[in-house]
Amino acid sequence: MRHQKWSTRLRVVSGAHLLVVLLVVACGSDVDGRVRGGAPGNTCPESLPSEPPCNPALADGPWAGAHRSSYAQGSSPLEGPRRGQRLDKQHVYVTGVPVVLGFTGQYADGGRAVWSSPVSSLATVVKLDAETLEILDEYVPREREPDAPPAPLGVSGAYSLVDVDDHFIVARGRAVEVFADEVPGDRRSRIGLVTRFTLPDALLCGAGDTIVGITMTYDGRIAVATARGVVATLPRQPAQMLPENVVAYAINDAASCDGGAATLEETSNSIAADESGGIYVVTSAAMYRFDWDGAALSLGWRAAYQAGSGQVGVRLGAGSGSTPTLMGTAPTDDRFVVFTDGQELMHLVLMWRDEVPADWEPIAEGRDRRIACEIPVTFGDDDATASLSEQSVLVRGYASIVVNNLLADPDAFAGQLPILQNLNSALAGGDPAQAPYGVERIDWNPVTRECEVVWANPAPSIPNAIPTMSERTGLIYAHGQRDGVWGLEAIDFDTGESAFFEPAPDQECATVLDYLPFLERAASREVIERLPHSCENSAYSAAEIGPDGSLYQGTWSGISRYRPR
């Protein structure tokens, strides 16, 4: 692979065309021009050439699912904060880590709600007002349900989506849960549990299996993947969530599920879907495409990759640390599924997601012919022997952005329970002596048909946030740390240079320990007392571009927003 400096500009449209697109997205009008009032209305307005096809089953909002859309690119055509702007900053505390925020469409009064299922031992669901960030309601199952299920520990429940009916859908434990406004169309009403549908035991891989990833197919089915390699689709309509309407495919055989750990393929990330019925799942051994035709789920292809061997620092499991991201948005584009492989020196991998070109040769002896690119990520250090990212790859056009998550001492918390190791490793990212440094952009060149490093900046520290990018501003955003101070780090997409750093709205959070659930308090007290600014630690959460050019960032103790004046 060549590593020369090479860059291509994203395709653009005229300013007038772009303004129309943004106005339609912002207003959320229905086909007949009426403003939405809590009813379905995702009209899928015409989008930028580099924007993935709109999924009409998702909410008509700026960010409706994990990694924004079914393509899981994590980038946006909308406006974000710009250089030189004065930003109003706000932090709201919620119980747990809101890894993903989901925005609804517009209500009759023009407002929107923001939903999340923060990761905590309480399995809370929270709804906020998008304009004020006022917490409208928090739903704690054990406080509202006489027989609430236990909250699963780990990544299950972190990923969620908002559908076109403005239902908030989260896969937690072995169930798909659907929440909505208790008073339909009233975003200020209490949260109501519409249904909790538990997947039949016969479909799952052993007693310890739980749902990890979730996405929406383009025909409006919920697709999920479990930790032990079961992929399933089910209707998104609550009344149709019945055992007979679930279609599933098991990657692992019964013997593996019953204890054959040596052959068990596991999943620790979310999943993606495209408009052709493809559902993309990465396990600890291989990347998969499953084909959904509206009635049946079949294996499209399986391709092994050079998978990393296990949990290190913030890494949640063996193999890839990234949700599959889809690249190529037009029928004439080269079309790939993009991910990182979790090797000790991590590589960015692109696999052809449709038919492999007839003239394509394997990149190396022994590699699957479907692999189009396998390039080491060094973050500008030519002598690097190790690198790591636990984040989904940020994609726009043919560009991939990868952030470094490898602590200076990745074994600092080795020997702890996996969930405690992950939590303390994430919190340690706020320590300048431990924090990881480096961001890198790698592009696919459709002329040479190779991956090429465009730039690598070893200076920024984005320890564990999922980055985003605004095509309007040409900036990458995520929570980073500088000298132990957390804040919004903005990086130029074209050059890799730092554009600005805005300190977070709230820094001291040691007193929050008194309000945490017991498990989180016991697990994190030592690190919090040593690093008292950890309330703004991104803790695996996504940076998201919301309405009005605002940047939303989930943190260890809530949500921070940066809003241009």
Nearest one of 300, 196, 202, 302 to 248, comparing CA atoms: 202
Task: Identify residue 232 by its one-letter amino acid code.
Answer: A
| Total number of domains constituting the chain | 1
Residue 452 belongs to some domain of the structure: yes
Nearest one of 364, 380, 155 to 268, comparing CA atoms: 155
Residue 333 belongs to some domain of the structure: no
Residue 5 belongs to some domain of the structure: no
Q: What confidence score (pLDDT) does residue 498 get?
A: 97
CATH of the domain at 200: 2.130.10.10
- The total of other beta-carbon atoms located within 10 Å of residue 564's CB is 15
Domain containing residue 76: 15-39+56-326+344-564
Structure tokens at 389: 């990212």
Are the C-beta atoms of residues 456 and 380 closer than 8 Å to each other? yes
Torsion of CA 262, 263, 267, 268, to 10 degrees: 10
Q: What confidence score (pLDDT) does residue 521 get?
A: 65
Residue 422 belongs to some domain of the structure: yes
Are the C-beta atoms of residues 418 and 425 closer than 8 Å to each other? no
Residue 237 belongs to some domain of the structure: yes
Structure tokens at 565: 């004046």
Taken as a whole, the chain contains a residue count of 565
Q: What confidence score (pLDDT) does residue 14 get?
A: 32
> What are the mean pLDDT values of the chain's consecutive 10-residue runs (565 residues total)?
33 31 32 32 67 94 93 96 96 90 95 94 93 96 92 84 97 96 96 97 92 97 96 98 97 83 84 97 96 97 87 64 94 96 94 97 95 97 91 96 92 74 83 95 98 98 96 96 95 98 77 60 70 85 94 93 95
Phi and psi at residue 262, to the nearest 5°: -65, -25
Residue 49 belongs to some domain of the structure: no
Are the C-beta atoms of residues 393 and 443 closer than 8 Å to each other? no
DSSP letters for 330-377: STTS--EEEEE---SB-EEEEEESSSPPTT---SSTTS-TTEEEEEE-
Residue 8 belongs to some domain of the structure: no
Residue 365 belongs to some domain of the structure: yes
